[in-house]
Amino acid sequence: MSLGPVMLDVAGPGLDPAERERLRHPLVGGVILFARNYSTPEQVEALVRDIHGLREPQLLVAVDHEGGRVQRFHDGFTALPAARRLGAIHDENPGRARRLAQTAGWLMAAELRAVGVDFSFAPVLDLDRGLSQVIGDRAFHFDPEVVADLAHACMTGMAHAGMAAVGKHFPGHGGCAADSHTALPVDDRRYEDIYAEDVLPFERMIHYGLAGVMPAHVLYPRVDAQPAGFSRFWLKEVLRGRLGFQGVIFSDDLAMEGAKGAGDVVARGRAALAAGCDMALICNDTAGAERLLEGLGAHDDPVSHLRLVRMHGRAATTRRELIAGADHREAARALRQLA
């Protein structure tokens, strides 16, 4: 069985029989975890092991674990600084900021890999323009070159811990105020301006070997009539064509308000995949997830499957060995001072 094009969530710290059955559906390819799925490192490790044991190849297990405001696991995990804290350090000492960004990427990935999580949806490549509250300090900086510099360091650290990186939110969520969780943000800038500024970190990171990209539920009406996550222009012509991206494209959550203009949940899933996404996320909507699995129809894309299997985490140390190591102690001490 190949990995399907749908990523779902689960309700709690363990799987119930209905969830086990749902995750065995051939259209499912992954699970995203939230804070409600976590109580202790031992508990979440058992949950991930259970998910991985359901089928072969193993379902991907992901989490949003950027640091700052967006960190799903806390007790037993190191508190990571918001990305913008590293950007502020870069203004005074770029070399130190790069070292800290690499340390943060390594520590985040090492702690997640030690409990079996395959990858985090990180780093954020948006620009902090002072407009978007939902992005805000999740962005490294307002300067795209600084964002690319620090994101590259973060990705290098993640790779050393056996984790692939996913950059978000293509082509950039920082140019509008609305939150796509609750509305459809609209960015009225010209394509040339977006490409020269907001797309630059993505271009740099693709050159460095970025494995995954998540597009934004943002409408750029002077460029295309569809939000980026449903836009063939943004995903196929720009991301795949002009930028040469060969990795995985993950949709943002199809249950978000910014996605609902594409129709019902089945229409949204079909539109995201048709536009170029390899995997569509549906979160916090069990009924919607079931409708998507029932209505999406057969999906067999060998190229997408090959891309997806590359997102599996690579060899990781055990949590006990990780915590006992000097590298972990030193990294945690350095980052706690920032967080």
Residues in binding site for substrate: 64, 72, 138, 168-169
Told to judge if 252 belongs to the known catalytic residues of this protein, a careful annotator would answer yes
Catalytic residue, chosen from 149, 252, 253, 278, is 252
Q: Please, are residues 14 and 48 in contact by the beta-carbon 8 Å criterion?
A: no
Known binding-site residue numbers: 64, 72, 138, 168-169
CA distances from 169 to 45, 140, 212, 267, 273 (A): 28, 13, 11, 22, 17
203 SS3 class: helix
| Pairing verdict, β 70-71 and 65-67 | antiparallel
Q: Where are the alpha helices (DSSP H) in the chain?
A: 17-23, 41-52, 83-92, 94-114, 144-160, 191-196, 200-208, 232, 265-275, 286-295, 302-309, 319-324, 326-336
Selecting among 25, 160, 181, 305, the annotated active-site residue is: 181
d(CA 84, CA 260): 30
181 catalytic, yes or no? Answer: yes
Sorted by sequence, the CB contacts under 8 Å of residue 298 that are 6+ apart come out as: none
* Nearest Cα to Cα of residue 19 among 28, 232, 233: 28
Contacts of 142 (CB under 8 A, 6+ apart): 127, 128, 129, 130, 174
- Side-chain-side CA neighbours of 57 within 13 Å: the count stands at 16
Q: How far is CA 105 from CA 9, 49, 141, 192, in A?
A: 24, 23, 17, 31
Active-site residue numbers?
181, 252
